[in-house]
A and B are shown apart, each in its own frame.
Chain A
């Protein structure tokens, strides 16, 4: 099992550009989520999905879109990048929607200039 795979590992964007962060898991997990990690602020939930075709907003959803067309994939789209979106992004997945261990991807370090 590869676990949770994120691409790319590093990315530099110009303000206003769009891009998609990819996330895939091979553990047949129903629940997937995206977090951003900023210094001193821990991990903050952006969007999550409890199964294919179902997505919902987390704590900080503005400026991001997601979709879940398959169980395996959960891409995160930045529509028009802003410097405030400079952060480290983590995708995570877990077996169920309640009270189970989250498995994280290796992270994407995004810089918006």
Chain B
């Protein structure tokens, strides 16, 4: 079993819809939670990070962490075609430097 599980999609939604992306994890030591966006043939770009449980909002993006359920989410409001990309959840423990990534969800926003 992988430490981080993420539905690979693909997920296709119309422009303007609210998108919900999710990951589950098994390692209770994870304390830092991140979402990266990766366009085709590019490196991952850090979108959001959260420490421990709670919510964080940045513009159209909201990240949620529920440590009791080992479940993290990213919500995208008013989705745009330019949001079409692969979204990677990632996490690490306080004592580690390496990041553990999910396999990514491919998202397509239809105009």
A, B co-complexed: no
Residue positions of B touching A, CB distance < 8 A: none
